[in-house]
Homo-oligomer: A and B are copies of this chain.
């Protein structure tokens, strides 16, 4: 079914279509589809665009990544499905390391993600998991020694709360991208970006570095997250109805 470009929820429906496509390719899990539904609810509540609080966090995040000694972008199946080309563009612009890292571990699914990015002309880590994030059970802690394990700053889009917490415990600077400002992942973020993952990565590549530096200097994460919650509360009172498909 072709979605008309002028459909009021065009972007949202395209994202859903991408998720289904990547589900059929074995990159997104059934659980990832349910997560996308939760994301849709919060995206609608924040207005389905990058609000000022998101832009501020995103600018601060770019400055932090540029200034880190070993920054790593962690990507899972949903992030690949929603923002593959945007992730590649940003990683190439600043020469950032990307590592595939998934919640429901399978070697096959990691390989599919790595291959997907290779097809977009970017080599990413993930196939050579030779280290473990302490405090996570079995396969959930797997990562690469030269990647996430030894990173000083990790950007974790759509990450599980336990892993966000474990990375924090390792002393890393955590940048989260999660539409739910109440999620444990958002709560563990040192910079918590409350925005859609595609919009966030797309914005990252557009900012001027000078603006990013300034944003980081004055950035207050806790007050910024509160702004997102305030906006949702305001929207709840003003939305006439929810234009679902």
A interface with B by C-beta (< 8 Å): 16, 19-20, 23, 30-31, 33-42, 160-161, 180, 182-184, 187, 229, 232-233, 236-237, 239-245
Contact = CB atoms under 8 A, between A and B. Distances in A.
A156 to B, nearest CB: 14
Given A23-B30, A34-B40, A183-B241, 5 more contacts: A16-B31, A33-B33, A34-B36, A161-B243, A184-B242
A183 B23 CA distance: 27
Contact of A241 (B182, B233, B241): B182
A223 B225 CA distance: 30
17 contacts: A33-B34, A34-B36, A34-B37, A34-B40, A37-B37, A37-B41, A160-B245, A161-B241, A161-B242, A182-B241, A182-B242, A183-B244, A184-B241, A184-B243, A229-B237, A232-B236, A236-B236
A130 B23 CA distance: 36
A187 B19 CA distance: 29
Contacts of A240: 187
Contact of A161 (B37, B237, B244): B244
Contacts of A42: 41
Contacts of A41: 37-38, 41-42, 180
Contacts of A241: 161, 182-184, 187
Per assembly, the copies of the chain total 2
Contacts of A239: 182
Contact of A39 (B30, B37, B242, B245): B37
A236 B242 contact: no
A242 B181 CA distance: 9
A74 to B, nearest CB: 17
Interface centre among A37, A183, A245 (most CB of B within 10 A): A37
A35 B242 CA distance: 13
Contacts of A23: 30
Contacts of A39: 37
A21 B18 CA distance: 23
A236 B16 contact: no
Contact of A30 (B33, B160, B182, B233): B33
A131 to B, nearest CB: 24
A23 B71 CA distance: 39
Q: List the 3 closest A-B pairs by CB distance, nearest first.
A: A37-B37, A41-B41, A34-B37
